[in-house]
Amino acid sequence: MKKVVVGVSGGVDSAVALYLLKKEGYEVEGLFMRNWDSSINNDTEGMEIATDICPQEQDYNDALKVCEELGIKLHRVDFIKEYWDYVFTYFLEELKKGRTPNPDMLCNRYIKFDLFIKEALKLGADYIATGHYARMENGKLLRAKDLNKDQTYFLADVKAEKFKNVLFPVGDYTKAEVRKIAEENNLYVAHKKDSTGICFIGERNYQKFVQNYLKVNPGDIIDIETKEKIGTHNGLMNYTIGQRRNVGVGGNAKRHFVCGKNLAKNILYVTFNEDYLYSDSCIIENCNFISSVHPTFCTAKFRYRGEDYPVELEYLENNEIKVKYPNQVKAVTPGQACVLYLGEECLGCGFIKTVYKNDDPLWYIQ
């Protein structure tokens, strides 16, 4: 009997993954990863700021309850230091550069599909599994059946060899079907709400959380067309390209869009004119290919839940690619991932470095 160690999060997806694998006849064990200490935040001075939010403990208790219901052994491992070193430090450094990071992708690369695999092998695993909505066929990473829940975008930075002996049990089901399986089998988390947002922030206010680690440096908000100061921003780290809500400019019938940042002068640029948000090409760096196919033409997603855009790829030196999209795309943002697809197959990704329109760099970051 083959043994599968399942990454159990305390949510309904990984719970159903446990159920399905056990039903298929595998020897199944669960492994809960504790990646963040939710009871404290450490600011830049090393002070501990108490909070009353400990969602991971609740998640562990939920995972334990499900495993008890299914007669499955649950292990627990702490990756708090490793998460800080490989994911959270990256998150802070990207914010300092004025970029918009995607820590969930780094978590998958360094924690869930590296350290977790090593821990599972210590437990004698023949396979590992997670509750991600994705599919593996013949070594190819494919979109999930439920395109609305597809999570291949977040898996695109994982090294190709890490997908060997990986199972995605819920990838062939829709979210509604997964909920139904959980309900029909009376799983404890059948009606548990899905988690949203960045994992280590959870339900906390984003700006207040970040201010525990990065010093707030207010500066001018400038209208990019009139060049007039129209407000004061609360630190460039708190804004992303295309943002309309909570920009800090009041008294206008229309909302401003964030369209650029000048780090040297600590200026946030905004506009009413959406034309400033559109680009036709970008450079992506630190590229990772899961597939052996490196096409010239394919499609790309520039953000999770974004649509697929036809693109042309020009392969450059230093593991960079120029991605051209003549139909133009709105708010392509430095620091975010550009994930490449060929039909159903997720080819890999790169991280957006520079954004262009008519071969001129946009105002995004200077």
Output the CA–CA distances (angstroms, integers) from residue 297 to 232, 322, 352, in the order listed. 43, 12, 18
Options 199, 287, 298, 349, the catalytic residue = 199
Amino acid found at 11: G
Rama region for 299: left / alpha / beta (φ>0; ψ in -120 to 50; rest): beta
Residue 322: phi, psi to the nearest 5? -90, 125
Instruction: Please report how many Cα atoms fall inside a 13 Å half-sphere around the Cα of residue 176, on the Cβ side.
Output: 3
Cβ-in-10-Å burial (0-12, 13-18, 19+) of 32 comes to buried
Q: Which of 74, 104, 54 is nearest to 8 (CA)?
A: 74
Options 107, 287, 298, 346, the catalytic residue = 107
Helix (H) or strand (E) holding 360: strand 360-361
Report residue 342 as tokens: 């060929």
* Known catalytic membership, residue 287: no
- Report whether 17 contacts 169 (CB < 8 A): yes
Cβ-in-10-Å burial (0-12, 13-18, 19+) of 51 comes to middle
Distance CA 141, CA 150 (A): 11
Residue 234: how many CB atoms within 10 A of its CB? 19
Distance CA 280, CA 323 (A): 9
* Known catalytic membership, residue 346: no
Distance CA 11, CA 187 (A): 10
Residues with a catalytic annotation lie at 107, 199
